[in-house]
Structure 1
Amino acid sequence: MRKIFSLLVMWLSVGLSVGLLTGCTPEYNWRETMVAEDRAVIMFPSRTQTEQRPIDVEGIQTTFSLTTAAVDQAVFSVGFIPLPETLGQEKSTALVKTVVSALAARAGKQAPENALTGEIFTLETVVANKPSLMMARVVIHRGMLIQVVVSGPKQSLSNENALEFVRSLRLK
Structure 2
Amino acid sequence: MKIRLPSSAVALLLANALLGACSPKYNWRDYASPDAPYRIMFPVKPASFTRTIDLDGMQVSMTMTAADVDGATFAVGAAEAPDEAHAQAAVAAMQEALMRNIGATANSRTAAAAPGKNSRDVDATGNSNGTPVRLVGHFEARGKRFYQVIVLGKPGALPPEQVEQFLTSFKL
The bucket for the TM-score relative to the shorter chain is 0.7 to 0.9
Give how far 1:56 is off.
3.2
Report Cα offsets for 1:14-64 as digits up to 9, x if no partner. xxxxxxxxxx97010000101372411001000111011123333333211
Report whether the alignment pairs 1:29 with 2:27: yes
Q: TM-score, normalised to structure 1's length?
A: 0.72
| Equivalence map 1:68-87=2 (5 Å) | 68-84=66-82, 87=83
Give how far 1:128 is off.
5.6
Residue type at the aligned position of 2:170: L
* Aligned counterpart, 1:7: none
| Equivalence map 1:43-54=2 (5 Å) | 43-54=41-52
Q: TM-score, normalised to structure 2's length?
A: 0.72
Residues 28 and 140 (structure 1 numbering): CA distance in 2 closer, same or farther, change over 3 Å?
A: same
Give how far 1:132 is off.
3.0
Give how far 1:75 is off.
0.5
Q: Radius of gyration: which is bigger? A: 2
Distance 1:122 1:47 in 2: 25
User: What RMSD in Å do the two structures reach over aligned CA positions?
Assistant: 2.5
Residue type at the aligned position of 1:53: R
Residue type at the aligned position of 1:114: T
Report Cα offsets for 1:72-99 as digits up to 9, x if no partner. 1110100111122xx243x333222111
CA contact (8 A) 2:61 2:80 kept: yes
Residues 25 and 122 (structure 1 numbering): CA distance in 2 closer, same or farther, change over 3 Å?
A: farther
- Unaligned regions of 5+ residues in structure 1, if any? 1-23
| Equivalence map 1:80-119=2 (5 Å) | 80-84=78-82, 87-89=83-85, 91-109=86-104, 112-114=108-110, 117-119=118-120
Give how far 1:110 is off.
5.0
Distance 1:158 1:121 in 2: 16
Report whether the alignment pairs 1:133 with 2:134: yes
Distance 2:76 2:121 in 1: 14
* Aligned counterpart, 2:18: none
Aligned residue pair count? 145
Residues 164 and 61 (structure 1 numbering): CA distance in 2 closer, same or farther, change over 3 Å?
A: same
Identity of aligned residues (%): 28
Residue type at the aligned position of 2:43: P
Distance 1:148 1:36 in 2: 16
* Aligned counterpart, 1:63: 61
